[in-house]
A = this chain, B = another copy of it.
Amino acid sequence: MDPNTVGFAKHDHDHCISDAITAADRMCRDAGLQLTPVRKRALSILLEEHRALGAYDVLARLSEEGFGAQPPVAYRALDFLTKHGLAHKIERLNAFIACAHPNELHTPAFLICTTCHAVAEAETDPSHSLLSQIAETTGFTIARAVLEAEGTCPNCREKADK
């Protein structure tokens, strides 16, 4: 994974937004999906903020820009994005975040800093050993899974150590 897209590290932000939008455009075109103005704008809002945003936060931004002002406007756009792997919902926060590596089939793992509220989507071991182990011992067939962890990010930890 490109270290510049890891959540707690600095990176070329303008570039990461435009790249992500371009990739989303192509993905939707290829899959026959409509990345409509609201949906595209919702995605770019998530990318701009680069943290988990509540549906109502996104809604406020959208409505400022002339889109509808009612909750379903935001929820529908976010549903589309999450359904097609362009964003994730972080259940613990009731909030949404742009996917850090779309296109790849993956089990997201979120690291939520309880100090600064940054959220990073970590890369998980592609062997998925934990999941397959669970599936094997329980007989459960896993369709989707998500790991959510709370703790302290490297930046906040450094400050705390001083």
Contact = CB atoms under 8 A, between A and B. Distances in A.
Nearest to A156: B141
A139 B91 contact: no
Contacts of A144: 149-151
Interface string A120-162: 1011110011110110011111111111111111100100000
A134 B149 contact: yes
A8 interface: yes
B140 A153 contact: yes
For A140, A142, A146, the residue with the greatest tally of chain B CB atoms inside 10 Å of its CB is A140
A122 B122 CA distance: 22
A45 B149 CA distance: 28
B141 A133 contact: no
Q: Which 7 A-B pairs have the closest CB atoms?
A: A91-B91, A139-B154, A145-B149, A143-B151, A142-B151, A141-B152, A111-B140
Interface of A: 6-8, 91-92, 109, 111, 113-114, 120, 122-125, 128-131, 133-134, 137-154, 157
